[in-house]
Each structure stands twice: as C-alpha cells, then as structure tokens.
Structure 1
C-alpha cells in the first residue's frame, strides 16, 4: 500500500511541476512583445523554403529542337533524381528519373541500368509513372499540348 501511495504522490507532483512549467513558458511567450513578429517571420521563411523546394522539384521540359538543351535537361534530371533518392525522397526522385528516361534517346538501355541499380519498389514506381510522363513529353515535343499515343507498353 505504501508504494502505491508514494507512486501516486510522485506522479501528482511530477504532473503539477510539468503543468507549472507549461504555464510559466506560455506566459513568457505571450508577454514577449516580438512574439507575433517572430512567428510571422518564421512562417514566411517556411513558406519560402516550401516554394523553393517545389520549384526545384518541378521541371520544365526543354525545347526538343535544341539537342544541347535536351542533353542538359537529361543530365540535370538524372542528377536531381539521384540526389533525391539518396535523401530518401523517392517520389520526387522517381519523377526526375522518369523525366530523364522520357527524353532519353535510348530509353531501354537506361531502364536496364536503372533496374540493376534501383531498389525494386523504386523501379516499379518509375515504370508506373513512365507512360504518363512519356505522353506529356511526346505532346510537348509535337507541340499539340494534348495527349499523344505512346508505344512504350
């Protein structure tokens, strides 16, 4: 009985100390005259970082008449895809690698290399996404803006 009572009292004291800690720091935070300004700055900084991240993960297709631009785009997409996969961002990494495969002159050879180097789940994600991206690339290359039949299946 004594141990249960001691444990109950200790839990009550700890709960009271934690509640006091929370109330003290909440009061300190609310009484800070620059709190709202700091909060707005932190939120604005977070939004800018999110926008920068989104802009780096979204890619604009190159002009397909310019082979140098297509080659540069291909290399950038492969590099970004590898970096994102290394960071654990599989969805965005697969998106960039899919873009690279879609503009590649020899996609079958690149797919063979990727199949050997990528984990099975990641490679499956790439294969699922490839027809959609290939249609977008074909539409952009033809200048129609619509979906074009693709013979990758």
Structure 2
C-alpha cells in the first residue's frame, strides 16, 4: 500500500483539526467552571502582592549600629536575591542583591564573588542598578533616623 502526498496531507489536516477541536473544547470547559475566574483573580493577586513585596525594602531596615541586625538583613537580601534570580525575576533579584551590596562592609570583595558566580549580563545589570539602590537605601535610612529623632522629642 502506497501513501500518496495528498493522502498524507489530508491525514495531517484531519489530525490538526482534531487537535484544535480538543483545545477549544477544553478551553470552553475551563471557562465554564464557576471557580475559574475566582481562582484566576486570586492567582493574579498573589503574584501582584509577591511582586510588590519583592520590589520594596520591606520597610524593615536594620539599625546600622547593631551588627547582628545588619548581618541578618544582609543574609536575607542575598537569599531573596538568589531565589528571585532562580525563579526568573531578574529585576527583583538584582534589587535585593543590590541592597545586600549596599549594606556590606566589604563591597569590593562581595562584588568580586558575585562577578565570578553570576552570568555577565546579570552582573552588569547589578552594577547599573547599584547606585540607584544605594541612594534609595541611604534615603530610607535617613528617613528612619529622622523618625527616631522625632520619637525622642
């Protein structure tokens, strides 16, 4: 039995039509589900909240005179940065790594380690973002110090 080109074309066309019908059918079933929109909204809200949390300093800056608090903040920022980079959220990951570099006492050593361990494009993104993150962190620390002075008065 010999298969001609036209027979093969017809078979591929029928298979494509069946696959497309399968996709449309299950998409309709999914959309008819009364909980679908609710689940979709919840998933989007969680993603939005996670994104908002990851882009802020969390408002919990450590006391610069407390070595333990600074060390804890540094480790937390490194871990968050690594997790976000692994998850594919480059902007937020670089943001947290930048915060860690900004509070690190040995900035050059840390940058050397990061340069060796990170892909070059991500490391260059970190270097670009570092002045902005450092300035924001500095302003935030200044604002916290001012609030503490007002509390004393």
How does the TM-score come out when normalised to structure 2?
0.70
Unpaired segments ≥5 residues, structure 2:
145-153
- The size of the alignment, in residue pairs, is 139
Q: What's 2:148 paired with?
A: none
- Per the alignment, in what secondary structure is the counterpart of residue 4 of structure 2? helix
Q: Quickly say closer, same or farther: Cα 1:107–1:21, change in 2 above 3 A.
A: closer
Inter-partner Cα distance in structure 1 for 2:81 and 2:132: 17
**Which position in structure 2 is the counterpart of 1:6?**
7
Q: Is 1:121 matched with 2:121?
A: yes
2:58 alignment counterpart: 60
Moved more, 114-123 or 98-107: 114-123
Q: Which moved more, 1:71-80 or 1:105-114?
A: 105-114
Query: RMSD value over aligned CA atoms?
Result: 3.1
Distance 1:22 1:86 in 2: 31
124 and 86 in structure 1: CA distance in 2 versus 1, 3 angstrom threshold: same
- CA contact under 8 A between 2:97 and 2:126: conserved in structure 1? yes
Deviation per CA, 1:80-113, whole angstroms, max 9, x where unpaired? 1122333443332211110101122232222222
TM-score by length of 1: 0.70
Equivalent residue number for residue 108 of structure 2: 108
Does structure 1 conserve the Cα–Cα contact (< 8 Å) formed by 2:102 and 2:133?
Answer: yes
- Decide whether the 8 Å contact of 2:30 with 2:36 is kept in 1: no
SS at match of 1:60: coil
